[in-house]
Structure 1
Amino acid sequence: MITIVARSIIKKDKVEEFRKLAEELVRESQKEEGCISYNLFEDIKESNAFTFIEEWKDMEAIEKHNKAVHFTTIVPKFGDLREESTVNLYKRV
């Protein structure tokens, strides 16, 4: 299993637009084969900081996800909405 933690700081005036796109991304990603879990979290202290925490069966599932239509159409739109972002992949030890 591989866990992805993708954190973004969203421009304050773009939060609602981000939320709508992110909700669709979560909904569609959760349907994918190989997806164990896929959720979005809002930071309690920083209302424009969001983190996707995803669990995938393996790298093959992640590669398919990265090529999925919902991913390739929604994720590029995030670029104009965020101030910064980080993506890290983890494996359980």
Structure 2
Amino acid sequence: MIKVIAKLTIKEDKIEELKSIIPELVAETRKEDGCLSYQLFQDVKNKKMLSFVEDWESNEALQRHMNSKHFQEAMPKIAELQEKEMELSVCTLVI
């Protein structure tokens, strides 16, 4: 299993715009073969901090996702709303 944690720092006045973009990305991603879980969380202390937490069956499934049309279309839109570059962690299960 592959776990992805993608941390976003969104411009304060763009948080609601981000929330309008995300539902389609999440819905389409959850339909993908190999997607076990795909969620977006917002930090309770810092509303500008949002994190995608994803579980994938394999690295191949993750790569297919990153090449998917909905991902490729959403990422430039999300990038425009960010205050700084996304922090991305791709992890494998240890225990």
**For the superposition of Structure 1 and Structure 2, which TM-score range results when normalised by the shorter chain?**
over 0.9
- Percent identical among aligned pairs is 39
**Unpaired runs of 5+ in structure 2?**
none
Q: SS state of the match for residue 45, structure 1?
A: coil
Matched, 1:53 2:53: yes
Q: SS state of the match for residue 80, structure 2?
A: coil
Structure 1's consecutive aligned runs of 4 or more residues displaced over 4 angstroms after TM superposition are none
Matched positions, count: 93
Query: TM-score, structure 1 length as denominator?
Result: 0.96
**Correspondence for 2:26:** 26
**Unpaired runs of 5+ in structure 1?**
none
1:14-70 superposed Cα distances (whole Å, 9 cap, x missing partner): 111111112221111111000000000010001111000000000110111011110
Query: TM-score, structure 2 length as denominator?
Result: 0.94
Root-mean-square deviation (Å)? 0.8
- The CA distance in 2 between the partners of 1:76 and 1:62, in whole Å, is 18
